[in-house]
């Protein structure tokens, strides 16, 4: 019988790939992980720059409601008590996010939930009977004109390079909206940042697993398919199929990093720029994720851009056109017997980290059940 060298070849050392590699290795399978980048951890990768863990592909805050997922990540890192509370800068004003009593007070000088509810009702009544079909309608119906104008419209246009009328409503429903003085950006039960950075978490997660970096699956597909009984692929699904039905669109980002010789640049990890005077959407000051006391600081300005070949594809664009195209690739993928697809790029979904981990758990459970392990 033709025995292959590995039970599983796992393409991608981000959360989806790394979680599968850990679970399958611990269940007795022989796994090889490859990644085309020069490092592990996918988009969660952090690099230690002068003592500060810099989130090289954008700010990553871990949050989940799922105890199983929380317990799992806590096996590989200790998490701190960081709570994400971004600030929005619109013209010369600053506002608290997400939309809460602090924001309403800053916008309208209201002081009680009753006054705030009345103000929101006054602003949203004319949209009451619409069923939102796009982001703009959804936002207006939820929060009304003032918040849409000052905190959503320009930011969203910069972020997605599209008019909010061309974007799906679900994107804005990610953000909490509450009538308490609570600036926590997430509603989840568990939240934090891995102390020492995400890369350290991934080093522990991938301990004793064979990894080849700087290794592109697509460039040597037949060779890699021949190496293992089964493949788990976490790259872009359209690239896997050589773009045969056409290219899916992604939103990409460019990060401009600066080391500055001051202790505290903006007093917060995340500041969003919600007017259109700057092309960047946010500035991240990395030391605040871990309450750093260094004498210097590192910031990253985040510039959104349309994805072009050789850019990193960050965000799937889940509009109708792209979702339809994705379904064609998905149909093809579902026919594969030895290749499984997962993660943000293969499932073409706007997943957070905990959701990617949940999706990897589901796939591994299926594999283990099928093999009776």
DSSP 35: -
SS3 193: coil
Q: Which does 272 bind (CB under 5 to 8 A by kind): ligand UDP, ligand FAD, none?
A: ligand UDP
6-11 β-sheet, strand order:
210-212, 31-34, 6-11, 228-233, 339-341
Binding residue (CB under 6 A) for ligand UDP from 25, 64, 234, 274: 274
Enumerate binding residues for ligand FAD (CB under 6 A).
Answer: 11-17, 34-37, 42-44, 58-62, 216-218, 234-235, 253, 314, 343-345, 351-354, 356
Of these residues, 238, 249, 285, 352, which one is catalytic? 352
Rule CB under 6 A: is residue 85 a binding residue for ligand UDP? no
Strands 297-306 and 210-212: unpaired
Find the shortest distance in angstroms from Cβ 164 to ligand UDP.
7
Find the shortest distance in angstroms from Cβ 178 to ligand FAD.
19
352 is catalytic: yes
User: Which residues, in sequence order, are bridge partners of residue 304?
Assistant: 253
Q: Whose CA is closest to 348, among 329, 370, 369?
A: 329
The phi, psi pair for 246, rounded to 5°, reads: 120, 170
C-beta closer to ligand UDP: residue 272 or 297: 272
DSSP per position, 232-278: EE-S-HHHHTTTTT-PPPEEEEEEEEEEESSS-SSSSSEEEE-SSSS
Of these residues, 7, 35, 249, 302, which one is catalytic? 302
Binding residue (CB under 6 A) for ligand UDP from 23, 44, 147, 152: 152
Contact between 333 and 238 under an 8 Å Cβ cutoff? The reply is: no
45 is catalytic: no
Interface positions, 215-254, toward ligand UDP (CB under 6 A): none
Q: Which residues lie below 8 Å from residue 170, measured CB to CB, with a gap of 6+?
A: 318, 350
Find the shortest distance in angstroms from Cβ 148 to ligand UDP.
8
Of these residues, 155, 282, 329, 344, which one is catalytic? 282
Rule CB under 6 A: is residue 156 a binding residue for ligand UDP? yes
DSSP 175: S
Interface positions, 165-184, toward ligand UDP (CB under 6 A): 171-172, 174-175
350 is catalytic: yes
Q: Which does 351 bind (CB under 5 to 8 A by kind): ligand FAD, ligand UDP, none?
A: ligand FAD
Long-range contacts of 105-110 (CB under 8 A, 24+ apart): 107/146, 107/147, 107/150, 108/146
In the complex, the residues that contact ligand UDP under the rule CB under 6 A are: 88, 97, 151-152, 155-156, 159, 171-172, 174-175, 272, 274
Where in the sequence numbering do the catalytic residues fall?
174, 178, 251, 282, 302, 350, 352
């Amino acid at each position: 019988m033709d025995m292959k060298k590995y039970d599983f070849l796992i393409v991608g050392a981000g959360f989806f790939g790394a979680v599968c590699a850990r679970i399958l290795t611990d269940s007795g399978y022989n796994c090889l992980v490859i990644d085309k980048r020069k490092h592990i951890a996918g988009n969660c990768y952090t690099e230690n720059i002068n003592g500060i863990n810099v989130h090289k592909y954008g700010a990553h805050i871990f949050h989940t409601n799922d105890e199983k997922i929380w317990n799992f990540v806590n096996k590989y890192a200790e998490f701190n008590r960081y709570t994400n509370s971004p600030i929005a800068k619109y013209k010369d004003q600053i506002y608290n996010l997400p939309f809460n009593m602090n924001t309403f007070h800053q916008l309208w000088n209201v002081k009680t939930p009753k006054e705030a509810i009345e103000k929101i009702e006054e602003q949203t009544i004319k949209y009451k009977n619409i069923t939102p079909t796009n982001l703009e309608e959804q936002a207006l119906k939820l929060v009304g004109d003032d918040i849409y104008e000052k905190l959503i419209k320009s930011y969203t246009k910069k972020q997605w390079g599209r008019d909010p009328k061309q974007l799906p409503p679900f994107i804005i429903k990610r953000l909490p909206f509450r009538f308490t003085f609570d600036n926590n950006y997430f509603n989840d039960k568990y939240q934090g940042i891995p102390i020492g950075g995400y890369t350290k978490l991934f080093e522990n997660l991938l301990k004793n697993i064979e990894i080849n970096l700087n290794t592109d699956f697509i460039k040597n597909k037949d060779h890699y398919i021949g190496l293992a009984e089964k493949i788990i692929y976490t790259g872009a699904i359209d690239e896997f199929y050589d773009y045969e039905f056409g290219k899916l669109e992604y939103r990409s980002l460019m990060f401009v990093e600066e080391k500055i010789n001051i202790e505290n640049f903006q007093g917060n990890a995340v500041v969003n720029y919600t007017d259109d005077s700057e092309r960047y959407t946010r500035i991240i000051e990395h030391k605040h994720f871990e309450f750093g006391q260094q004498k210097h600081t590192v910031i990253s300005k985040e510039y959104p851009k349309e994805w072009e070949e050789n850019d990193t594809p960050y965000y799937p664009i889940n509009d109708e056109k792209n979702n339809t195209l994705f379904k064609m690739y998905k149909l093809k993928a579902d026919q594969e017997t030895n290749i499984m697809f997962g993660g943000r790029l293969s499932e073409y979904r706007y997943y957070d980290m905990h959701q990617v981990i949940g999706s990897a758990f589901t796939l591994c459970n299926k594999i283990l059940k099928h093999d009776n392990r």
